[in-house]
Copies of this chain bind each other. A is one copy, B any other.
Amino acid sequence: MSGKRSAILDLGEMLIRTRGYHAFSYHDISGPLAIRNAAVHYHFPTKADLGAAIIDRNMAQFGELTASWSHYPAGEQFRLFTQIYLASRQQGWVCLMGALSPAWDTLPGPMQAKLRQMGEEILDWLTGCRDKGKAAGVFGFGEPTRQKAQLVW
């Protein structure tokens, strides 16, 4: 029942999405949580472990959310999807993909793999979302892309 572990994941995700992977350190986590640096290393031995765990949790959350929407019409599902990004954007956050991919070349291997996986999962869902809707012409593929743009621009 480590409440600290999830608190580290929470803070870590916030830091990545507001500052970027290379612009935060374990100190930025241990300070606010009032624990020592090594305690963060206890839960996540390396920074890459932490980064990968954050992506994992994000993917799991995405899976749960979309599963809970499964009985809604495709258009509504898509609206809910974009709503999430718009809402976090208003907080000054950027999605994980938007925060991490610009520095792709500098990411540790395991994180690259997880990120790629997450990208595929989202794209698959988005594709399925479009295919399912009978009104396939109503929302073109331009819109999700446009949505993602706003997360960075």
**Residues in B whose Cβ lies below 8 Å from that of A134:** none
Q: Is the CB of B18 within 8 A of A105?
A: yes
Chain A 90-109 against B: per-residue CB contact (8 Å), 1 yes, 0 no? 00101001110111011000
Question: Given A146-B145, A146-B146 in contact, is the A103-B153 Cβ separation under 8 Å?
Answer: no
Question: Given A22-B23, A142-B146, A145-B146 in contact, is the A102-B94 Cβ separation under 8 Å?
Answer: yes
- A19 part of interface (Cβ distance < 8 Å): yes
**Residues in B whose Cβ lies below 8 Å from that of A23:** 22, 103, 106
Tell me the chain A residues, 68-115 only, with Cβ under 8 Å from chain B: 92, 94, 97-99, 101-103, 105-106
Closest to A119 in B: B153
Q: Chain A: interface secondary structure?
A: helix
- A117 part of interface (Cβ distance < 8 Å): no
**Complex Cα–Cα for A150 and B145 (A):** 7
**Residues in B whose Cβ lies below 8 Å from that of A145:** 146, 149-150, 153
